[in-house]
Amino acid sequence: MDYNFRAIEAKWRTFWQENKTYKTEIDNSKEKFYVLDMFPYPSGAGLHVGHPLGYIASDIYARYKKHKGFNVLHPMGYDAFGLPAEQYAIQTGQHPAITTAANLKRYREQLDQIGFSYDWDREVRTSDPNYYKWTQWIFLQLFHSYYNTELDKADDIKNLVALFEKEGNAAAKAHGDQETVFTAAEWNAMNEKEQQAILMNYRLTYLSDSFVNWCPALGTVLANDEIKDGVSERGGHPVERKKMQQWSMRITAYAERLLTGLDQLDWTDAIKEIQRNWIGKSVGALVSFEIDQHKEKIDVFTTRPDTIFGVSFMVIAPEHELVNHITTAEQKKAIEAYQVKAAARSERERMADVKQVSGEFTGAYAKHPFSGNLIPIWIADYVLASYGTGAVMAVPGGDQRDWDFAHKFGLTIPVIIEGQNISEGADANKEGIICNSDFLNGLKVKDAIVKAIEAMEAKGIGKGKTNYRLRDAVFSRQRYWGEPIPIYYKNGIATAMDESELPLELPEVDKYLPTEDGEPPLARAENWKTAEGHPIETNTMPGWAGSSWYFARYLDPNNTGEFASQDALNYWKNVDLYMGGAEHATGHLLYARFWTKFLNDKGFLPFDEPFKKMINQGMITGNSRFIYRILFSIDQSGINDNDIIKNIEFDGKLIHISKEYYEAWTNSSITKPDEKNLSEQLKLLIKEHEASETERLKAIYPNFKGKVSYWATPSSIIKAQIPIKHVDGYSLNVEALKNDKEFSNYMNSTFLFQNQFICLGEIEKMSKSKFNVVNPDNIIESYGADTLRLFEMFLGPLEQSKPWDTDSIEGVHRFLRKFWRLFHDGENNFSVTNAEPTKEELKVLHKTIKKVEDDIERFSFNTVVSAFMICVNELNDLKSNNKTILEQLVILITPYAPHIAEELWHKLGNTESVTLQAFPKFEAKYLVESSHKYPVSFNGKMRFMLEMPLDLSKEEIEKTVMEHEESQKWLDGKTPKKVIIVPKKIVNIVI
């Protein structure tokens, strides 16, 4: 073999490792550059081809910056705590630490194969006690802090306590949930428990009640995406909205700074926009409504206080704390039924489903703050308890959801904007003139908002307020595999551990499940108490805790005295280029910004944004394969007992049909199997199945009088996802699937097909659960890491998502071999010439230097690969093997294909690593042209090319063009109306 990539890549990987080529130290003589990848969660499936996309791009950039003379920090580590390892532990009993260690080992092997320039001496793992010691330490800092709204930064909670002792909380400038006011005397009279409860309303991490998706059967809280159709994805158990005491992070204190800080960041507008929407700043008013015959009030936030006279009813969330209190006896039953129904629906469903309007009247009335009219109070699930105050003043004239609601329940829809037509729907127009609104009549919306707020403030019933959609982040997890929270309970009071007790290490437990009483797994740990015998917090931290500050740990990863030294922090500072997926827009990227701002407030970090520039690599989508499964139904006419239907489970005799059968079926209007077009074989199969299932049911349920039958339409055929590994193209290897132990339900399945079983193909997210993951290992085995690196970049623009398709990988591999052959003769002997490079050779080289440099700078990695290909093709055409040219070219290609570059660099007679060489200097003088080939257009359509010297004046160009015989042909005797000449660009003649 001419280009022996296996030998070359193995050789240089060892060389780099032994020589610590990628080791990085502080070097004050050089400018720093910090390139960071979002670190991976090491899943059991290993690295798939989507991961390296971003890693390769950032590695190219890091290597490029190093060639450009920067001191580049480029570390890697692992987000090693997480749910999948815990799930696996629950299923197998294996400790998540063991699973995680095994996964890490595999990730490392895979990463090493690709030839990244990581400084592995800086690796971090969030599950390592030496690491999470500092995650816990940050938690304690947050616990000991509150947000001082006067200084507009975090401050020591002791300062707040001192203030309370002196003057109470009336004048306290602090962000918090404390609603009642107390004097210094009252504060000082409180016992410790009462004082601590009040401080919880100010601490930046605090205990409070939050709503969660509680699954009683699993004894745990579920994420939205673990819930499908209102039941748990695992096991199908019911899930309810439940209030639980949880740790939260007071990120809302930072809402405004998180919002304005975005302006300084070099991120895509899309991500910034997502964060702005997430923070959701809206300016409006908080209005209090009195409740008739009750002393409580309902607060609502509105962005349109000008519409106050358009309010004809109120809607509060079914979970609102006042619902049970104000509901009248007559309405009690209906309200309770509705609450149960609403609790069973996920927030997502409630938000998405606007077509089905539902709600229930509480029987209570609120008093309109200006008119005093009684307005009915309803509950409805389109109002979410967790958003705003959990209550809205309904203005059906101006809000479509309110309009739908009023329309359905026959509530009045007042007109409050002149000329408004609201017979068919609400009118949210903000341009009109207010009417039917007492003192607001005749005003424009903008002015009415101001006046309404003034009136509310004067009357003491409301005030102007800025609201944020952002909610405090729930921080407790009822899980095992996460950081323990360094809190213990002294007589029921949550108390911070001392820093000297960190790390609080994760204890051993007998099982990774919640206890029988529904307590988190840590409650199973023996002696989970402090030395004094106080119980320790049993919740753990969420996955995002460790990843909210890891970028800082890389700067000084082995420091035991502090999370990073000031020297390291001041030299490396924040991340200059952050590479990762856009899917973290509202999670990790917001939390990391929040912690950074906090640590900056406290003087621990010398910067207040973690990631200066960010590039979001697009997803590599996978190829999924599906087969069609026929669903059988039961003819219900013969059944009296509903329970039978619920309890019936069909046995393993699934029927699967290939694509052509499916299409034969759906393309006809046939709904019964006994009609034409369906093969006799399928008809027979279905009949047989009907009969055997009917017999089986009769045997199990003696009073079953019906039969299993096929009344089905094509919609009762479902798509079943099958692993791509058993499919060649679209043709399924039926035997392999049947024999796959992971898919035992296919063992007795019937497959109906002609010649070969054709599957349906779809492009979707590459994920283990979709069985469509492709690992990079076999690509590297067949083509080498350099080919993989070039190929992943060649696929298309980095930021766009694209399907994984290896068809064109040959072309990239062929390019590397062509590149190799530039340095070798026909017998694969190394052969270059020391002659002076020719003008043409220099032109090719410098054209390429410019293109490569410009494109890497603008993160257009795919076009660089094309530029290399063009360069090699052109040198090939010139039969060039000039050493001077090739030496420069080798450096140029090093960031993309470091192994082959290192090999050729050494063959050229060099001994130092190519990765340490200076980037070739572009010199414009080699590209100077004396003439330009002008495209000549008539009426904007290009007709012919004409080469003309660059020093011609516009007049001379026009003259030359008009005299040309092609021009005469297209002019066809007419006189041009206009001639447009753009020097060095185009000529356009308008006829």
Partner RNA sequence: GCGGAUGUGGUGAAAUUGGUAGACACGCUAGACUUAGGAUCUAGUGCCGCGAGGCUUGGGGGUUCGAGUCCCUUCAUCCGCACCA
Instruction: Give yes or no for residue 580 binding RNA (CB under 7 A).
Output: no
Closer CB to RNA, 295 or 355, in the complex:
355
Which residue in 471, 659, 687, 719 binds RNA (CB under 7 A)?
A: 471
Closer CB to RNA, 206 or 710, in the complex:
206
Phi-psi region of 70 (alpha: psi -120 to 50; beta: other; left: phi over 0): beta
Tally of CB atoms within 10 A around 623: 19
CB 586 to RNA: min, Å: 6
CB 682 to RNA: min, Å: 28
Instruction: Give yes or no for residue 10 binding RNA (CB under 7 A).
Output: no
- Say which amino acid occupies 512: Y
CB 423 to RNA: min, Å: 21
Instruction: Give yes or no for residue 231 binding RNA (CB under 7 A).
Output: no
CB 893 to RNA: min, Å: 14
CB 962 within 8 A of CB 991: no
Which residue in 159, 666, 863, 960 binds RNA (CB under 7 A)?
A: 863
- Say which amino acid occupies 223: A
User: CB-based contacts of 917: which residues, under 8 Å, 6+ apart?
Assistant: 67, 891, 894, 905
Closer CB to RNA, 478 or 888, in the complex:
478
| Pairwise CA distance, residues 581 & 39, whole Å | 11
- Binding characters for RNA, 806-845, by CB under 7 A (x = yes): -xx-xxx-xx-xx---------------------------
Q: State which of positions 636-675 bind RNA (CB under 7 A).
A: none
Q: Does the annotation flag 173 for ligand binding?
A: no
Instruction: Give yes or no for residue 803 binding RNA (CB under 7 A).
Output: yes
Q: State which of positions 544-563 bind RNA (CB under 7 A).
A: 544, 547
Tally of CB atoms within 10 A around 117: 21
Q: For residue 482, what are the CA distances in angstroms to 88, 457, 521? A: 14, 48, 11
Tell me which H or E stretch contains 146: strand 145-148
Instruction: Give yes or no for residue 721 binding RNA (CB under 7 A).
Output: no
CB 255 to RNA: min, Å: 10
Query: Taking Cα atoms as reference points, which of 820, 853, 843, 818 lies closest to residue 924?
Result: 843
Q: Which stretch binds RNA (CB under 7 A): 219-227, 281-289, 671-679, 899-907?
A: 219-227
Which residue in 10, 351, 645, 747 binds RNA (CB under 7 A)?
A: 351
Which residue in 11, 15, 46, 83 binds RNA (CB under 7 A)?
A: 83
Q: Which stretch binds RNA (CB under 7 A): 79-87, 302-310, 499-507, 894-902?
A: 79-87
Q: State which of positions 958-987 bind RNA (CB under 7 A).
A: 978, 980, 982, 985-986
| Pairwise CA distance, residues 321 & 99, whole Å | 44
DSSP states along 759-811: PEEEEEE--GGGT----SHHHHHHH-HHHHHHHHHHTS-TTS-EE--GGGHHH
Q: State which of positions 249-308 bind RNA (CB under 7 A).
A: 268-270, 273-274, 277-278, 280
| Pairwise CA distance, residues 871 & 904, whole Å | 17
Closer CB to RNA, 454 or 877, in the complex:
877
- Binding characters for RNA, 309-348, by CB under 7 A (x = yes): --------------------------------------xx
Query: Taking Cα atoms as reference points, which of 567, 306, 249, 289 lies closest to residue 431?
Result: 306
Helix (H, G, I), strand (E, B) or coil at 630: strand
Closer CB to RNA, 544 or 554, in the complex:
544
User: CB-based contacts of 112: which residues, under 8 Å, 6+ apart?
Assistant: 13
Which residue in 110, 246, 658, 882 binds RNA (CB under 7 A)?
A: 246
CB 204 within 8 A of CB 598: yes
* CA-based R_g, the chain, Å: 35
| Pairwise CA distance, residues 965 & 959, whole Å | 12
Closer CB to RNA, 221 or 335, in the complex:
221
Instruction: Give yes or no for residue 801 binding RNA (CB under 7 A).
Output: yes
Closer CB to RNA, 478 or 538, in the complex:
478
CB 960 within 8 A of CB 952: yes
Instruction: Give yes or no for residue 750 binding RNA (CB under 7 A).
Output: no
Which residue in 223, 700, 918, 950 binds RNA (CB under 7 A)?
A: 223
Distance, CA of 329 to chain centre: 47
- Binding characters for RNA, 381-410, by CB under 7 A (x = yes): ------x-----------------------
- Lateral strand order in the sheet of 757-758: 727-728, 731-732, 757-758
Instruction: Give yes or no for residue 430 binding RNA (CB under 7 A).
Output: no
Helix (H, G, I), strand (E, B) or coil at 4: coil
Instruction: Give yes or no for residue 699 binding RNA (CB under 7 A).
Output: no
Q: Which stretch binds RNA (CB under 7 A): 360-368, 444-452, 543-551, 746-754?
A: 543-551
Helix (H, G, I), strand (E, B) or coil at 535: strand
- Say which amino acid occupies 283: V
Tally of CB atoms within 10 A around 921: 9
CB 342 to RNA: min, Å: 16
Count the site residues for RNA by CB under 7 A: 101
Return the structure tokens found at 135: 């995650």
Closer CB to RNA, 425 or 442, in the complex:
425
Residue list for the binding site: 768
Residue list for the binding site for ATP: 768
